[in-house]
Amino acid sequence: MGLIAPLLMGQAKPVLVPDVSQRNIEIAYSFTGAELLLFGAILYPGGRLPGAAQPTDIVVVVKGPTQSVLIREKEKVAGIWVNAARLRYRSAPSFYAIASSRPIGRIVDERTRAIYELGLDSLQLSPASSAPAETQDRFQRGLVDLKRRAGLYYAAPHAVEITDGVLYRARVSIPARVPVGRFTAETFLIRDGRVLAAAVRDIDIRKSGFERFVARAADRSSILYGLAAVALSMLLGWGAGWIARRV
């Protein structure tokens, strides 16, 4: 407490001290998903908590590494569904989860949501073409819907619990189909619609065991990996045919 007191006295704004239950998540063949516990404390200047008239909210955003995504729009022609228009995004988060102490629309206004990308409808994606605004909006809604149905995008209002105005905790589910890479867990302290403090923690999600070996081989020796995959496919096909001839 002796070390914390000078820090509290010297700060004009609150400070967040966040952490996560797992900094590293390994994906094996039996991986069925994981649950992250995000928790921490709010350090107020002078140790003075705000009054009940100034409620404090916490918003936690977990993002996966960005990736290029191509979205195709299907159209029914002569009774057959065919690919029509398409739009590519240069950098869309592969995973996005937002947990908050209240519905995000009741915490901050639309402008603040857009600045900090708080909410599924506030993601700042980067389309690779200069399509009209209404076209971009339509494709962005389609991308978010696809990711949400796959369990890779979701919002959890009321998922953050704040105890005595100081301690907070939230749980975020990581699905089995989550991509690997460097994830970030961003925590925002908000009061009266303004972001007072923010902090980030990194989370590494990587493959382990045989899956890790295959992924590394495909990345580091793509030609040999491709030749080995073709040879294995031919061997399995020959073996299946040999068994069929003798049954």
Query: In this predicted model, what pLDDT tens digit does every residue of 128-137 receive, in sequence order?
Result: 777 788 888 8
- Can you give the pLDDT at residue 224? 61
- Is residue 71 included in any domain, yes or no? no
Please give the Cα distance from 188 to 200 (Å, whole number). 9
19-33, 107-121, 222-236: range with highest mean pLDDT: 107-121
Is there a single domain that holds both residue 222 and residue 161? no
Q: What is the pLDDT confidence band of residue 57, given thresholds at 50, 70 and 90?
A: very high
pLDDT in tens, 171-218: 999 888 888 889 999 999 999 999 999 999 999 988 654 444 454 545
Identify the domain containing residue 234 by its residue range: 208-247
CA angle 21, 26, 30 (to 5 degrees): 115
- Is residue 109 included in any domain, yes or no? yes
- Is residue 17 included in any domain, yes or no? yes
191: number of Cβ within 10 Å = 15
Please give the Cα distance from 65 to 96 (Å, whole number). 10
- Is residue 6 included in any domain, yes or no? no
pTM equals: 0.75
Comparing 197 with 80, which gets the higher pLDDT? 197
What's the chain's average pLDDT? 81
Reduce the DSSP state of residue 39 to 3 states and report it. Answer: strand
